Amino acid sequence: MILDHIGDFEPYRKLSDNFAAGFDYLRATAFEAVADGDYPIVGHDVFARVQSYQTRPREQCRWEAHRHYADIQFIVEGAERMGLAHISAMTVQEPFSRQKDVEFFVDSPNPNHQLVRLNRGDFTIFFPQDVHMPGLMIDRPVPVKKVVIKVRLI
């Protein structure tokens, strides 16, 4: 997992051409004026998912991971917490769905996870081993606008 601010994105463009395309799209788009939905960037290899929602208590959120895509999760407006754990520390709750590229998890009997705070302009990169729980409220539910850039790895 990587946590950084969009002003410091340049080193992550070098991960691959797909990451470069995703970060270029983030830097060139005024998301305040973009409606929620999916937007192709490089066909099915890189696309943006614009989302607006209220953050929620932990009990209403789920641990997830992806196998074929990395996530760049960028906060446009608001702030949220995200949970992070290595896949080896988690127990599968719902098996991997190839169609949706998602697998859901629960904490192991001895939880070993972290919570990070993301504010406006911050982003994370989650790879397949990074089980994550997005959308967590900090003190109370607040509106968030977020862009998730899905970057094909496989």
Closest CA to 73 of 129, 15, 117: 117
Section 52-66 average pLDDT: 97
Domains of the chain: 2-152 (2.60.120.370)
pLDDT tens digits for 93-118? 999 999 999 999 998 777 789 999 99
State in Å, rounded, how far the first CA of the chain is from the last one.
18
The answer to whether 50 and 145 have CB atoms below 8 angstroms apart is yes
Closest CA to 68 of 22, 105, 102: 102
Section 26-39 average pLDDT: 96
pTM, rounded to two decimals = 0.95
Per-residue confidence at 78, pLDDT binned at 50, 70, 90? very high
Per-residue pLDDT, 112: 83
Per-residue pLDDT, 52: 98
Type and span of the H or E element at 28: helix 17-28
